Copies of this chain bind each other. A is one copy, B any other.
Amino acid sequence: MTSQPLPRALPVTDRTRHRRLREQGSVERADLEAILDAGFVCHLGVVVDGRPVVLPTVYGRDEHRLYLHGSVASRSLAADTAVCVTVTHVDGLVLARSVFEHGVNYRSAVIHGTARKVTDPDEKLEGLRLLTEHSAPGQWSYARRPDRRELAATTLLAVSLYEASVKIRTGAPDDGDGPDAERGLWAGVLPLTQAWGVPVPDPALRPGTAVPEHIARRAGTRQG
């Protein structure tokens, strides 16, 4: 599954061209990668009987492709299937002087591609490693890895990162220099942040089982 490096500028296609609010679009692959690396749950869109279905699932990635846990959509994925994978981080509410200028500070990546069911055992194991390490770094070495039966029972999908659309909105409302600024209303951003909490042990744990360092050190850190 090796291939040439993907272009560092995202391709502009009919699906990814920024039609609206151009200032929010990015064509930098580095922005795409940063958005993907800041999260671990995506929304996977497929077409079932001509209708859209959007389901959350976990993902990981390498330089070329996403790996998705595909069990949620396995009944919809007979062969190679057109998919749209979207990852969104909500960073804050944009509170303007006018309701019309209200909005959201966010970062989103929308990947258009075809989901390939991973069948090669080596690629499947490597895809699951990437997926596991993406959400829970350190767990691939710590927990028991999948055996042959578990590997067979897991649906893993691969989607190329070639075609993607990135949007980022940051900063203050847009009506600070318009007539509404004269109203004297407060305006700004109410930030929203996600953070990891203190690990909650499984009640079934043997008393005294220590939280491993790779888990403990995430408590209190920001996510997203």
Contacts and interface: CB of A to CB of B under 8 A. Distances in A.
Interface residues of A, number: 94
A190 B180 contact: no
Interface in A181-203: 181, 183-203
A88 interface: yes
B201 A139 contact: no
Interface in A143-192: 143-146, 150, 153-154, 172-173, 176-177, 180-181, 183-192
A168 B99 CA distance: 33
Contacts of A186: 199, 201, 205, 209-212, 215
A191 B187 contact: no
Nearest to A195: B193
A19 interface: yes
Most buried by B among A46, A75, A85: A46
B218 A190 contact: yes
A65 interface: no
Nearest to A58: B104
A198 to B, nearest CB: 7
A157 B10 CA distance: 30
Given A41-B90, A200-B191, A223-B192, A83 B215 contact: no
A191 B202 contact: no
19 contacts: A43-B45, A43-B54, A43-B88, A45-B52, A45-B54, A47-B52, A52-B54, A53-B110, A54-B85, A56-B106, A97-B143, A97-B144, A100-B154, A172-B200, A184-B209, A186-B205, A186-B209, A188-B200, A189-B202
